[in-house]
Structure 1
Amino acid sequence: MPTPNDTPFPSNAFRRQDETPDADFYHFPRFVTHIDEGAIAAVTQLYREYLPANGAVLDLMSSWISHLPEEVAYQRVVGLGMNEQELRANLRLSSYVVQDLNQTPTLPFADNEFDGAGICVSIDYLTQPVEVLRELARVLRTEAPLVITFSNRCFPSKAIAAWHALDDRGHLALVQRYLETAGGWHHIELLDRSPNGYQSDPLFAVVGRVV
């Protein structure tokens, strides 16, 4: 995908090893977790801290599990992902949308519709991240949080070139740059929430709030 002219990223930053349609790659459901239990618990704790109870939450790039805290009730949780079987199996979702954000980065939601959003271990697959984050700033309410989490795991063939070129700290800086370039975000936090111990996957987060 070409990079928009108004972004500072080189045109090859968003190339992938596998440029075949993402719909083909995600055609079959994967009922597995992509990070281990310690890292999942870290994601859940972040959601507990940042996503407002009784609010409307958007789980972007969702799958069969959202990692939301079981004890917290939300007004509604909307999932947007690539595989309908996975989304249908996600018991936390009130509704879902099947959409390829790399083909259509525009979100099918109204302005100021959600009180918070999460992108879990998926930001590295976006070929138009600035456009998606710009859209998120539109559909979230003022001061609503966006929690972007990632680890050191990925589907290598579908992760963008820039992700492969950077280490963990570089990934934090890259996602921060996405938000700054998209505009509409402030109070951006870069967090290392990796569980203690050497046996767990690391877990990093970038949290921003809508201006």
Structure 2
Amino acid sequence: MSGLGEHSLTTLELVLEWQSPEARHLERYLARRVNLWRDVFPPGLKEVLLGKSVGDTVERIYQPGDAVPKHDPKLIHNVPRSRFQRRTVGGRAIEPARGRFYPRGMLGDMLGVYPQDSRPGRIIELDESSMVVDLNHPLAGRPLTLRATVKDTADKVTETGGRLTCWLEEIADSGPGMQCRGGGHPTSFDLQDGLHRLDETEDSRFYASPRIIGHVDAQAGEFLKETYAAALSTLPAKAKVLDLMSSVQSHLPDHLDLHVTGLGLNLEEMEANPRLAERVVHDLNAAPKLPFPDKSFDVVACSLSIEYLTPPRAVIAECARLLRPGGALMVGISNRWFPTKAVRIWMDLHEFERVGLVLEYFQTVPTLTDLRTVSIRNWWRPEDDPHIDQTLTSDPVYVVMGTVQG
């Protein structure tokens, strides 16, 4: 076919870029089986897509209120704290906290809110008797840049009706915006009780037996590599990289000539990792101080493991100490972990709030600047993946990055 038309089906990679006072944010989302005739698109996007072919990219810039509803002061409510509908998840009571998001149905009796309402609302102020609740869209008031790349196309043979998709809702109503602070105040994550775990036995015992497996599917692993590669493209040959909480996979780009030191809890796992030039066995929860001199690495990468740290802020500060001026700290996360060893707060949070938690860790270190986040969601799971019978969707990937001041 010559190009996209009203009767085309297509797959689009949607990329949403926006900025908060704390960081720059990039959200990648695979829009599958897009129906150009039936579906709903952000203003002007469909018009610039028509006639485009596989590989073409279009871009639209939206001012506040153009694509998501503008910020409305009428959606901010003062509610008695007693109206908070407490719930228990996994044996843990969910309590209100400033800056946190909750399903609107938990936030009390407000006009237009019903108990089953799962849309996010945020507590922006909280005291012993009341809470101020913001029901605005998490991206309200922010300029947005949206790019769409045509990945494949097909002619639609018939139109039988059925599902209609609003593509901006698909990408923007499922978490973006929830990773930033509310009103410039640090989010009140429970870092006193929330950093405890169900299994408090020594980590060296839990990890004594090797697990020679990957922790995300192959597609998610490639996206981690791809995101790291974009951040490390200017590194010199033989740049020194610390693979923190290392295991059988480092998720570092294969084409870069790097000298990689792995630090983890199981030597056999690290010996199975061909990317490592050096291996150090070290328990960060028992001893958060890292056994390396100041400014000894160009990059520190921690992949799919930060949820196990009980002193996370101390470890992030140590990472910054180890980095040379201009060095990068990169933390990759997903939605799979060992539940008994992950800290409790991790399981309380929306996936994008977990990104916000890691951002808060970064912001406790003054030397970490140029903070960025990336999310990658809704890609196809590889057909040979052992979990393909449970879900067709690849594991989501989130990365938080920062640079040490030069």
* TM category, shorter: over 0.9
Alignment of 1:1-211 (within 5 A): 9-51=190-232, 52-54=235-237, 55-74=239-258, 76-194=259-377, 196-197=379-380, 199-211=393-405
- Cα 1:180–1:86 change in 2 (3 A) is same
Aligned-pair CA distance for 1:194: 2.8
Aligned-pair CA distance for 1:203: 0.5
Q: Which consecutive aligned stretches of 4+ in structure 1 deviate over 6 angstroms post-superposition?
A: none
Kindly provide the CA deviation profile for residues 114-155 of structure 1, in whole angstroms up to 9, marking residues without a partner as x: 111110000100000100010010001112111111111110
Conserved 8 A contact 1:38-1:195: no
Amino acid aligned to 1:150: I
CA distance in 2, matches of 1:138, 1:117: 11
User: Secondary structure of 1:11's partner?
Assistant: coil
> Percent same amino acid among aligned pairs?
39
TM-score by length of 1: 0.92
Amino acid aligned to 1:80: L
Amino acid aligned to 1:25: F
Kindly provide the CA deviation profile for residues 176-197 of structure 1, in whole angstroms up to 9, marking residues without a partner as x: 0001113321111121023524
Runs of 5+ unmatched residues, structure 1: 1-6
Kindly provide the CA deviation profile for residues 152-185 of structure 1, in whole angstroms up to 9, marking residues without a partner as x: 1110000001101101111010000001113321
Structure possessing the higher relative contact order (Cα contacts under 8 Å, 6 or more residues apart): 1
Amino acid aligned to 1:105: P
Conserved 8 A contact 2:212-2:269: yes
CA distance in 1, matches of 2:345, 2:321: 26
User: Secondary structure of 2:261's partner?
Assistant: strand
CA distance in 2, matches of 1:53, 1:140: 15
Conserved 8 A contact 1:47-1:147: yes
Aligned-pair CA distance for 1:20: 0.8
Conserved 8 A contact 1:60-1:119: yes
- Cα 1:8–1:32 change in 2 (3 A) is closer
Amino acid aligned to 1:70: D
CA distance in 2, matches of 1:193, 1:118: 18
Corresponding residue pairs, total = 204
Amino acid aligned to 1:13: G
CA distance in 2, matches of 1:19, 1:47: 32
Aligned-pair CA distance for 1:45: 0.5
Higher helix fraction (1 or 2): 1
Kindly provide the CA deviation profile for residues 66-115 of structure 1, in whole angstroms up to 9, marking residues without a partner as x: 122222211x1100000011112211111111001000000111111111
CA distance in 1, matches of 2:401, 2:280: 24
CA distance in 2, matches of 1:68, 1:192: 17
Please provide the CA RMSD for this pair.
1.5
Amino acid aligned to 2:212: F
User: Secondary structure of 2:245's partner?
Assistant: strand
Amino acid aligned to 1:94: A
Q: Which deviates more, 43-52 or 117-126?
A: 43-52
Conserved 8 A contact 2:330-2:400: yes
TM-score by length of 2: 0.49
Conserved 8 A contact 2:189-2:345: no
Conserved 8 A contact 2:214-2:248: no
CA distance in 2, matches of 1:173, 1:194: 17
Amino acid aligned to 2:367: G
